[in-house]
Every structure is written in structure tokens, then in C-alpha cells.
Structure 1
Amino acid sequence: MMRYNYLIVGSGLYGATFAYRAKQAGKKVLVIDKRPQFGGNVYCENIEGINVHKYGAHIFHTNNRDVWNFVNSIVEFNRYINCPVANYKGELYNLPFNMNTFYQMWGVTTPKEAQSKIDEQKAEAVAALDGREPQNLEEQALTLVGKDIFEKLIKEYTEKQWGRNCKELPSFIIKRLPVRMMFDNNYFNDKYQGIPVGGYNKLIEGLLEGIDCKTGVDFFHSEYQNWRKYADRLVYTGALDEYFDYKLGKLDWRTVSFKTRVEDIPNYQGNAVVNYPSHNKPYTRIIEHKHFEMFGKEVYDCPKTVVSEEYSTEYEEGMEPYYPVNDDRNNALAEEYRKLAEKEEDVIFGGRLGLYKYFDMAPVIEQVLKLSII
């Protein structure tokens, strides 16, 4: 029987990057994943020659040059810049909130005019609080950007995302909102941004090249649950509470479902990401996948397109967990589980599920690059 230095549970970015670094260090590694494919939530399915982000849009962005150089050493990244649009009952607004948004909202054309409008509405919200601190997300958001932006671009979108009224959500969820007094539609401030040329599968394949891997293996219902028979150390990227058999209680999640379809036209919405912030549409956004990797004439050289409607829902058993619920109960419970995790000998917990924290892709890779793999 082969003995490994590391058994890695999960082949998402954390697990795959750890496996790559361990192999580079001369370690023997086995990666197992309960899904029928590798890559976790960055996995892409090819439909009509288009790489479809099966588990939701993933846009790589970072200010960390080392992380950017690392991923580009595996696969070249393209020039995609994320510039989402919000469709509020047929009215189109650029995101994040910038001078284009303010012109579309109020017809203002200068930063001074826009700031004056925002300050006026913020002052009304602060006055309504009568000296007390914001008690919920709605009150907090109104003091940050005012009534117009909140009601059209935040309120209903947030309620669809979390399945709760904004007055029932804690204020700390939205302590800051980016407001740009420039005509700049680039959603991220990071210096480096793009999508792997050929899709995220190319990145995962490069990270796992030459490494023993098995799909369709559920860690908790397989021989590998007794992992010390097979490996010196365990790298666990599954759900934190599941590892401890929910002994302290279950952590809550929000999840996302998708309705994906092929459209018999080359260009459906003209943008990769269009948000639908009002309740008149049940989905939160529509993703048109070809715009992540095809630009200009390439869009029309591909005669069909693939779009995905994205729905935010309450998590139920058997669904894929996506977003930790950052309320007081779950934060306290997660911290207790993390204390248990620290006491586990020869076990490394990582990633979004393993730490019960939401991470963008680059910070996940950065975490692994900082580890001493010995």
C-alpha cells in the first residue's frame, strides 16, 4: 500500500495549490474529491465551445505580485476586466458606484454635483437616526450612500441574496460601500485581474499534474476516513462542522442555484455580468460566460452563447454550501469549531469550507504560498 506524506480532501484552489507545492517539495500526495471532477467551485463545463463557470462566476483579481506570478506560471491569464451592470426594472446602472452610475441616477456630470447629492441624502438618513448608531443594514446603508442608491441598487438585491429584509440584517455586513468620483467601471481596485486562457480547468490541471488523484470519493464514507493508515498528515478543505460530526451544532450557509441555457444568438446581453437588483426578477444576476474569454470579433465568431440565471437560496441538506452566514450565532459557533481544529494533530484546515470564512480566490492561494510544507 502506498503511503503518502499528505492526504488532501478537496481539489478546489486550496487543495490543488497545496498539492502542487507539496509535490514541488518532493512530497508524496493523494488528492480525493467527492465530486466527479476536480477544481471545486472553479470547475468549468464546456458547452458549445464556451467555458461555462458551473458553480458561478469566478474572476481572479489580486494586488499580490507573487500570487499573480504564481498562477501565470501555471497558465497564462487573459485581459478580462470585470465591469458589471445593474438592470433595475429596465434602467441600466454601472457598478461599482461611480460617476457613470451617478449620471444615470441623477443626470449629474461632475464629481462635485454627485458628492453634493450623496451628502444631502446621507444627512437625511443621519438625522432620522436622531443621534443613535445604525441598528440594521438598511439604516447603515442609508448613512453611507443615501436613499436613491440604496433603494434601487442595494435594498432588494441584498434581500434576494440573504432571504431576509434589510431591517433584519445586522449593520456590520455593510460597514462600507465603495463610491468612486471617477468614470471608472472596473469593479475591482486590484492591479492584476483576468481569467485563465482556456478556462479554470487549465489552472487546476496544471496544479495537479503528476499527482495521484481520485474523484467520486466521499472522505466520510470511504476507507480514507481512517486517514492515518494512508498518510502522515491530512489537509482538509471540507465543511468545518462536518469534520467534527456537528458535535457543537450545525453552521448555517447560503447557497446558490443556476439555470443555464444555450441561446441561439452570438451575444445575449453584451456583458459577462448583469445584476438584477429588484424583486421583479427572482434571480440576482445573469452571467453570459463567453464574455469572460471572448472579446470583440471573437464574440460573433462563436454563433451561440450560454447564459446562467443565478438564484440565492437557503441552504438545505444535499446542496452545495456557498456563503457563510456572518451573524452572531454562526460567528461564535465557528470560532468554537476553529478552536477544536487547532487541537487536531497533523491536520491542516483550509479554504472557505474548512475555515467557515468567505475568501476570494487569490487570498486562498496566498494562504498556501505562506505555508511551510515540510
Structure 2
Amino acid sequence: MKPYDYLIVGSGLFGAVFAHEAHEAGKRCLVIEKRHHIGGNIYCEEINGINVHKYGAHIFHTDNKKVWQYVNQLVEFNRYTNSPIANYKGKLYNLPFNMNTFYQLWNVRTPAEAKAKIQEQCKEYEHITNPQNLEEQALKLCGKDIYQRLIKGYTEKQWGRSATELPAFIIKRIPFRFIFDNNYFNDSYQGIPIGGYNRLIDALLENIEVRTGIDYTEHRKELDSLAEKVLYTGCIDEYFDYACGHLEYRSLRFDHKLLADVEDFQGNAVVNYTDRDTPYTRIIEHKHFEFGKQPSTVITYEYPDNFEQGKEPYYPVNNENNTQIFNRYQELAQQQKTMLFGGRLAQYTYADMDDTVAAALALWEKEITVTNN
């Protein structure tokens, strides 16, 4: 008999939830992590009493009551509501696009006035019957003011290319709200773990053996021999040594700054910079996630970045070529008898945290059903 039932590669949210469920079912688990801390991209570092989201802003939101109850049985969540601000060349606009935004853009005060203005702007582009790129699609959906001030620059920075070079399907629709409501998410449940996300990961991995600073790819044969089955949450193309080609990603770069003599830098957790000339896409002020009253503050400049080996892959580039490559890797993955694949990197997808929790729970349910049979 091998020392462990499951080796879990990666201590992010997916791996931690799976490990928790397996441990609760009496399975022997070993979690390994390449970084020198657990938690993956939801890891927080405490600086001057502020929980700093080291890998970008993470706000837990969901309509899935089962998932909300699941995480709340582990840690208590606060009532944080995501209400980002857009800064376009010094002018501020509320997000998502709602009556506050329309008032700031056009000085309109009623839903009827706002709808009429949008229709007027869209009419200029009604000749575009089959949008060939993101720019044409956006102009057809929202007109020039919203597109040029709040979509174009931010999107071009995010993807590292002109909007005319991006596929139209990236913007399928533009959600307008004809009410004065700055709550970015429509979900029923929303918040941040009180004390930061480390408390959630710590609760999930309580009493489970975890080893950090271990690169699975460098010690795969030795590590695989320790467990009956392996859950792999890393990049699927890396696991198969890029046999079907490299999948494309976008990366991010974070510049964290402690402002020791500043109590409040921007008055909001997230401010997006939507003009093309500002090199970063947003500034995050972390204390606002937990309504902090500390005398100092920590801000993070978030920069889009090209992905290359050694950088963190954040966003998949979902186009036809990458989809075909991923499908070939999926076929290979299904042939692995003792391997499980899960999480955003192994599934080559962008996943919100609630979807990640739900997917990990579903994989465990499937696994325990197979095991019991």
C-alpha cells in the first residue's frame, strides 16, 4: 500500500477543497505546492495589519446557495460589496454601467433618457450587421462614448493588442442597468473572509499534510509513487510536456506599495484606469476589502503582461486554435487511469471562485462514487 490515497498538486482553492473533502472522508492526503506559501492566487500577505491580495483582487460572489453555505461553515464572511470606479483621463465613472454612469456621461436623469441616448449612439453603427472584431461589436452594442471611455483602452491593455485585432465574441453583450446601483455583481451572496483568504485555505487544509516549495514537474516520478491517485491542478500542456503545443495565456504584474503616512489613498478598493496611455489597468487599495481603519494603507498597481515561461499564467487566450490544442490535451488526460485534472489551469478556463469550489466538490463526488463502486 502506498503512503497516501491522494497526492494533490497545488494548494489553491480547487486543490484545497478537494483535499478537504477527501480528508473528511478518511482518505490520506498529501498536498504539495510549488510556491513557498499555500493558497495559490488567493493568498494574502499581512502588511501593517492589512491583508494584501498578493495576486490581484479576489471578491467571493455567488448565486449558488450550496457553495455559499459551504465556505461560510469554514470561515465568516463580511458584507463587502464590489463597486469599482473607472478613471478615464482624470474623470470618474461608476461601474457597472448604470444610471450613475449615464448621468456622469450625459447628464441624463431618467431610464428613458438613458435608453434614448444609448439608442442614438448605437444608431450610428447600425450598418455593422456582422461585426468582424471587438471594436465593431462594442460600438454596435453601446455606441462611441461608453466604448471609447470605458471599454477600448482597458480591453486593449488587458489583451495586449488593438481592439480591431480581438475577436468579436469576447463581448457578447454589454449589461446596462437602468437603476442607480453600483453593485458590480448581481449575485445573491457576496463578501470577503473576515481576516483574509488565508483563513479559508487554512480551514480547508486543517490537519492535512502540506509541503511547500516543491516543483511537481521536477520530481514527478518520485511523487507519483507516494499515492494511489494524483490530482493535478497545474497547466495541462506542461503536464504533457507540450506534446500538442503550447497553450496561450496572458499574465499580470503587481507593484505593491506601502504608503505609511497615507490613511486612505483612493477611497475605494478598486479603481480601473480605462485610458490606453496609463500603463496599468487598475489600482487596488486592500484595506477597503475589510473596511480597515489602519493609519497607513497598501496599494497595488496591476499591469497586464505577456506570458512566458517563469511567469504566472492568469488568463487563457480562448480562440479557435487554443481550443483545438486543449481538446487534444483533454483526450490525453482522459486516458490517465490514476490521474485527475482540475482547476483553471488544468481545465484551461477562467473561473470565478464559486465555480472553482463547485467544480472541486463535483469532482470529489464523482471520485467517491467511482471509488465506492
Task: Provide the TM-score with structure 2 as the length reference.
Answer: 0.96
Measure, in 2, the Cα distance between the counterparts of 1:90 and 1:208.
44
1:207-286 counterparts in 2 under 5 A? 207-222=204-219, 224-263=220-259, 264-286=261-283
Q: Which residue of 2 aligns with 1:67?
A: 67
Q: Which residue of 1 aligns with 2:163?
A: 166
| 1:205, distance to aligned residue in structure 2 (A) | 0.3
Q: Structure 1, unaligned stretches of length 5 or more? A: none
- Write the letter of the residue equivalent to 1:137: L
Q: Deviations over 1:62-99 (max 9, x none)?
A: 00111000001110010000000000001100000000
Q: Which residue of 1 aligns with 2:27?
A: 27
Would you say the 8 A contact 1:235–1:347 is kept in 2? Answer: yes
| 1:228, distance to aligned residue in structure 2 (A) | 4.0
| 1:279, distance to aligned residue in structure 2 (A) | 1.9
Residue among 290, 298, 301 paired with 1:293: 290
Q: Deviations over 1:280-301 (max 9, x none)?
A: 311000000000012xxx43xx
Residue among 141, 145, 152 paired with 1:144: 141
Q: Deviations over 1:224-281 (max 9, x none)?
A: 4344421111100000100000011111110000111011211000000000000231
| 1:317, distance to aligned residue in structure 2 (A) | 1.2
Measure, in 1, the Cα distance between the counterparts of 2:34 and 2:221.
13
Q: Which residue of 2 aligns with 1:58?
A: 58
Does residue 354 of the first structure (1) align with residue 350 of the second (2)?
Answer: no
Q: Deviations over 1:31-87 (max 9, x none)?
A: 000000000000000111100000000000000111000001110010000000000
Measure, in 1, the Cα distance between the counterparts of 2:191 and 2:170.
27
Does residue 134 of the first structure (1) align with residue 131 of the second (2)?
Answer: yes
Measure, in 1, the Cα distance between the counterparts of 2:224 and 2:201.
26
- Write the letter of the residue equivalent to 1:214: R
Aligned residues: 365
| 1:340, distance to aligned residue in structure 2 (A) | 1.3
Q: Which residue of 2 aligns with 1:324?
A: 316
Measure, in 2, the Cα distance between the counterparts of 1:225 and 1:105.
59
Q: Structure 2, unaligned stretches of length 5 or more? A: 369-373
Q: Which residue of 1 aligns with 2:332?
A: 340
Would you say the 8 A contact 1:227–1:234 is kept in 2? Answer: no
Measure, in 1, the Cα distance between the counterparts of 2:361 and 2:314.
24
SS in 2 for 1:141: helix
| 1:204, distance to aligned residue in structure 2 (A) | 0.3
Measure, in 1, the Cα distance between the counterparts of 2:37 and 2:221.
20
> Considering only aligned residues, what root-mean-square deviation do their CA atoms show, in Å?
1.1
SS in 1 for 2:126: helix
Measure, in 2, the Cα distance between the counterparts of 1:370 and 1:316.
32
Q: Which residue of 2 aligns with 1:84?
A: 84
Does residue 368 of the first structure (1) align with residue 360 of the second (2)?
Answer: yes
Would you say the 8 A contact 2:7–2:224 is kept in 1? Answer: no
Q: Deviations over 1:146-192 (max 9, x none)?
A: 11000000001100000100000000011111110010100000000
SS in 2 for 1:155: helix
Would you say the 8 A contact 2:2–2:225 is kept in 1? Answer: no
Would you say the 8 A contact 1:83–1:185 is kept in 2? Answer: yes
Q: Deviations over 1:2-58 (max 9, x none)?
A: 611100000000000000000111100000000000000000001111000000000
| 1:329, distance to aligned residue in structure 2 (A) | 1.3
